[in-house]
Amino acid sequence: MAILPILAHPDPRLREHAQPVTVFDEELARLVANLSETLRVSGGIGLAAPQTGDRRRVLVIDLSGGESPPEVYINPELQPGTTRCLVEESCLSVPGVVGNVVRAISIRVRAQDPQGNPFERELEGMPAVCLQHEVDHLQGTLFIDRLPLLQRLRLRLRRGQLAKSPATVA
């Protein structure tokens, strides 16, 4: 297993859309093992392959504090519930930033395991929030994109990126 480097915002690779996994082989198993090890040493609770520069639709989450192996989701498709809540999030790819975003607190997910077997799960609470955050990474979205406009502008000003943003309103 290898510890993979985690890309940091504003790396443009974080904005790319991940591609579906079609081959379930030893290379994919190695990616899952490396993502799991990287997540373990990072102290985070979720990690998507695009955060490491790999464009496959693969993610791992672990809310057990390392007590059990991470859950693996390949090609996940979400069906969010209707109940939404304001939750505090942070991200390994956006170090030092914490913010409140609106997320569904219960979801249904369809995905595949590392062998390609399909499965469905219903998640509630923090597991649901974490999975949505990681699926966003597969779509090139960061949690900071979901922050209220004023908070996003303050963040850009603080990071000296206001002039670079196409979302800036004059």
Q: What are phi and psi of 60, to 5 degrees?
A: -130, 145
- Which entry of 120, 122, 124, 134 is annotated as an active-site residue? 134
Give exposure, 26-62, as e/b (b: 16+ Cβ within 10 Å).
eebeebbebbbbbbbeeebbbbbbbbbebebbbbbbb
CB 39 within 8 A of CB 81: no
Amino acid at residue number 12: P
For this structure, is 37 an active site residue?
A: no
Residue 162 gets which letter from DSSP?
G
* Contacts for 11 with CB less than 8 Å, ≥ 6 apart: 93
* Residue closest to 51 by CA, chosen among 78, 15, 88, 98: 15
Q: Which residues belong to the active site?
A: 134
